[in-house]
Amino acid sequence: MSATKSKIELHRVMRSELCNRCGTCVGLSDGHIRFRDREGKYMPEVVKELTNQAYDRIWNACAGKDFNFPGYRDQFYPGTPHFHTYMGPYRDLYIGHAEDSMLRSSGASGGILSSVLIYLLEKRKIDGAVVTRMSPEKPWLTEPFIATSREEILEGAQSKYILTSVNEILAQSMNFKGVLAYVGLPGQVQSIRKLQKAGDPSVSNIGYIFGPFYGNTLHFSSVKSFLRSHGEKDYTKIRKLYFRHGEWPGNMRVEMESGRIIQLKKFHANYLIPFHIVRNSLYCSDFTNEFTDISGGDAWAPVYEERGRGFSLVLARSTRGSQLLEEMKKEGWLNLSPISEKECIDMHSHGYDFKKRGAFIRIGFRRFWFKPVPDYGYILKGFTFKRVLMEVVISLLFLVLGTRLARWSVEQFSPRFIGTIFEKSRTTWKRSTHNIKRDELK
Ligand SMILES: Cc1cc2nc3c(=O)[nH]c(=O)nc-3n(C[C@H](O)[C@H](O)[C@H](O)COP(=O)(O)OP(=O)(O)OC[C@H]3O[C@@H](n4cnc5c(N)ncnc54)[C@H](O)[C@@H]3O)c2cc1C
């Protein structure tokens, strides 16, 4: 593609809902692109003109506009024994957790991802790991960094549900001497895979790629709104912000400089989703982080949820990912029990439906309104009328609840009260739509 075209197209994506804020454009721009207004719209902007070559390089690595799933699968997972449209390529499926109870409780679910990083570091298979923590300077924002010790990896543990731009780190990580493990969300991982395929030197030291499952992320407005609902107006007075604090599934917890602690069950804090969801999440069709070596999600099933303490669903995709998990199991680092594909699908049927079926219907709506759409190299279609109608209702809900008036209205009620209603309605909604969704889940 000509550089002028790259420039025009990149600018278009940067201003649109196709931008997933992965941070690659910032990381590769040598300071010419930066994120503006991280507590607000959080969009990349060009602050100094780039060369044509730089535009070409960044545009090729942008996963917001396209990512050819079948093509990248062939490239990175040749001969992988299993594949499912919802879960991508995989070798092994497990339910598991870290054997070390401290590591287990430090993680978002079973502490698997952090344990894997610590294991690699202690066995000297890596020299550092790209992880995401809450910023020490601005504890209400996230920041990627290179962890080089067990303590630093644990600083990055736990899920952050507001926007993160892990690939900003490329500016720094490309100069890191030694092998790196990298942890990112699907859009971020896809961009790394694009750079790897292009043989870009910025990623030549990345030896392993891991990542969490990904339902959605929220704008920072969610945190501001959460605070306002509790009568706190100034987010700069946040001392610590957690999204999964305490025993699994954990709590959203804010510690203020004043010493005040505000806490709400994770399932109740989910009420923030329809009001503050990042719209790009709605067009991302990768739920299980399909292009990693190992990916992990919560083991959402009553049998595990009742037990508390933290359980993960773990997918080993590459040979090295599979060997690593086996090794860690043998050496007593991880407790892993194999499960079937069907159990996996059942456990997250809601998530698969939302990201695989829902995303393609929503992309269809965009196409209908002549809006730009991402090209994933495959399309799922043939949904029943009822399923499309359900998506119309969901999309309208997101549209209405995302308005200022709706956000203001919800802040007039106690989050505990709204959270309880939200959890109950979600359960009823899930139950009532069970058949519509299951009909199509194969
Ligand atoms: C935004 C988001 C949405 C998610 N949605 C779902 C879902 O719908 N269903 C589900 O089952 N699971 C979801 N997960 C995954 C789940 O919350 C856990 O991350 C997963 O179970 C792994 O747990 P763990 O204890 O092994 O990870 P941990 O040991 O806690 O390690 C997590 C790793 O992920 C990194 N990380 C955390 N947040 C981010 C972020 N925002 N961007 C980049 N890297 C990050 C951390 O730095 C750390 O290295 C989501 C995670 C995130 C971050």
pLDDT in tens, 315-350: 999 999 999 999 999 999 999 999 999 999 999 998
H or E segment and range at residue 238: strand 238-245
| Residue 3 pLDDT | 62
Residue 438 has pLDDT above 70, yes or no: no
Query: 289 CB under 6 A from ligand 1?
Result: no
Q: Is 343 helix (H, G, I), strand (E, B) or coil?
A: helix
Residue in the structure block whose two tokens are 């698969």: 352
> pLDDT, tens digit, for every residue of 208-223?
999 999 999 999 999 9
131 CB near ligand 1 (under 6 Å): yes
C-alpha 161/C-alpha 114 separation (Å) is: 17
Task: Kindly tell me if the per-residue pLDDT of 432 is higher than 80.
Answer: no
State the pLDDT at residue 356.
Answer: 94
Indicate if ligand 1 lies below 6 Å from the C-beta of 112: yes
pLDDT of residue 433: 67
| pLDDT over threshold 60, residue 442 | no
In the block, residue with structure tokens 């079926």: 357
Average pLDDT over every residue of 375-379: 97
Instruction: Output b/e per residue, 197-233; b: 16+ Cβ within 10 A.
Output: beebebbebbbbbbbbbbbbbbbbbbbbbbbbbeebe
| Predicted confidence (pLDDT) per residue in 238-290, tens digit | 999 999 999 999 999 999 999 999 999 999 999 999 999 999 999 999 999 99
Q: What is the best residue among 159, 170, 349 to mutate for testing ligand 1's pocket, by most ligand atoms within 8 Å of CB?
A: 159
How far is residue 404's CA from residue 266's CA, in Å, rounded to a whole number?
24
User: Whose CA is closest to atom 8 on ligand 1?
Assistant: 215
> How many angstroms separate the alpha carbon of residue 1 from the centre of ligand 1?
35
Q: Please give the residue that has the higher pLDDT: either 68 or 424.
A: 68
Mean predicted lDDT score pLDDT of the chain: 95
- Specify whether the CB–CB gap between 365 and 411 falls below 8 A: no
pTM listed for this prediction: 0.97
Q: In this model, does residue 127 exceed pLDDT 90?
A: yes
Q: How far apart are CA 329 and CA 385, in angstroms?
A: 46
Long-range contacts of 195-203 (CB under 8 A, 24+ apart): 195/24, 195/61, 196/76, 197/72, 197/75, 198/60, 198/61, 200/57, 200/61, 201/174, 202/27, 202/28, 202/170, 202/173, 202/174, 203/170, 203/174
For residue 255, how far is its CA from the centre of ligand 1 (angstroms)?
Answer: 21
For residues 104 and 98, the answer to whether their CB atoms sit within 8 Å is yes
Comparing C-alpha atoms, which of 141, 153, 142 is closest to residue 181? Answer: 153
Mean pLDDT of 131-150: 98
**pLDDT score, position 148:** 98
The confidence score (pLDDT) of residue 259 equals: 98
- How would residue 308 be classed by pLDDT, with cut points 50, 70 and 90? confident
Residue tagged 């079948």 (tokens): 70
pLDDT surpassing 90 at residue 426: no
Q: The tokens of 124 are what?
A: 């000297």
